Amino acid sequence: MGKRRLPIMAILLILSIGNYSRMKGTEDIRSIEFLSIFVIGLTSGLLILAIAEKFKSKK
């Protein structure tokens, strides 16, 4: 799973950003939009941590 972890998280991040960009823009944030923003942040954080672990393991 270690080698496949980065591409899977990158694909999930792309999908969540694409899903968020399809939503209609309004002035107020609905709960589903909040959840999408939260998932984008969570996936980005996990991807950054995985990349940092990969660089640390190379040294």
pLDDT in tens, 2-37: 678 788 888 888 888 888 888 777 667 778 888 888
Give the structural domain span for 25: 4-57
Kindly indicate the confidence band of residue 50, based on its pLDDT and cuts at 50, 70 and 90.
Answer: confident
Count: domains in the chain:
1
CA distance 28 to 30: 6
| pTM attached to this predicted model | 0.74
User: Is a pLDDT exceeding 60 seen at residue 1?
Assistant: no
CA distances from 24 to 27, 28, 35, 36 (A): 10, 11, 15, 13
Using an 8 Å Cβ cutoff, are 10 and 37 in contact? no
The reported pLDDT for the residue numbered 3 is 72
